[in-house]
Amino acid sequence: MNYYNEIKNELVNNEIYKKVKDYSKNKNDLKTYYNVGKLLSEAGKKYGESIIKKYSKKLTYELGKGYTFTALSRMRQFYKLYKNIATVSQILTWSHYVELLPIEDINEINYYIKIAENQNLSVRELRLKIKNNEYERLSDKTKLKLINKEKTDIGDLIKNPILIKNKYNKIDISEKMLHEMILEDIPGFLKELDDDFSFIDSEYKIKIGDRYNYIDMLLFNIEFNSYVVVELKITELKKEYIGQIKMYMNYIDKNKRKLNQGKTIGIIFCKKNNEYVMEYCSDERIISRMYELI
């Protein structure tokens, strides 16, 4: 087999296809680069690794830019990653896969593919999630659930820590400052939690007895059909925070929750977790996460 001619024909036909059938060019891109990757893998086994560099120079001379050694190496890596074109997502573009190929853990790659599909992420948005180590900030328990394709709970996909943009550029901040930074980037904050959270109100006013109290944030989780009470703390998690948020959760359950809705969830975001406090918290609806200013 003349591997070079086969590779060249694949690439030339793809360029022609993209000009004529623009509506499905992404699918053909993936198929073409997969096939080229397979041919490069076979050629490398027969002629040695240096053949890719040789093909790159020749393709660049005959076809123009876009076929560097790095580009061809990515195509080969793409083939080695999947081995079966049928398992490749047709929703993601080749540019998405270029962002994913440097990742060594296939489970991490699968995580980013799934959220890219579900959240319709652009290449830039996917790149940012990878840069922010989103997968690494999931618990080991959650990662195992994702690997085994088990159902996740409401708190599983909430990263730890969550990242908050620090507009004040200060290490020590007040709760008010933390609150303001979150409110200025609500979409980013909700994505740090999960794609199913929506924002209802800030400093949500409730009346307990003859006194008004203010819940830092009231959210709603669409998948679990539940209200979510959020409290922000700039210290280490303390046991009194558990009592406070539980009171707010009970209030929402009694006065706002409808019969067809799940019980209210509580999330405490704090500067530092305290595993001993959470160990003796008997209410599984209460979740504790740290925040990190970036």
224-253 pLDDT tens trace: 999 999 999 999 999 999 999 999 999 999
Same domain as 18, residue 126: yes
Same domain as 10, residue 103: yes
Same domain as 275, residue 165: yes
Same domain as 63, residue 23: yes
Same domain as 124, residue 67: yes
Same domain as 115, residue 228: no
Supply the pLDDT for residue 170: 87
Is 145 domain-assigned?
no
Same domain as 258, residue 202: yes
Give the pTM.
0.88
Which tokens is 277 given?
Answer: 């406090």
**Domain extent for 197:** 153-293
Number of domains in the chain: 2
Domain end: 137, 162, 189, which one? Answer: 137
b/e code 250-286 from CB counts within 10 Å (16+ = b): ebbbeeebeeeeeebbbbbbbbebeeebeeebeeebb
Is 219 domain-assigned?
yes
Supply the pLDDT for residue 21: 64
Domain end: 88, 110, 137, which one? Answer: 137
Domain end: 112, 137, 162, which one? Answer: 137
Picking from 153, 113, 148, the residue whose alpha carbon sits closest to that of residue 134 is 113
Is 20 domain-assigned?
yes
State the average pLDDT for the chain: 94
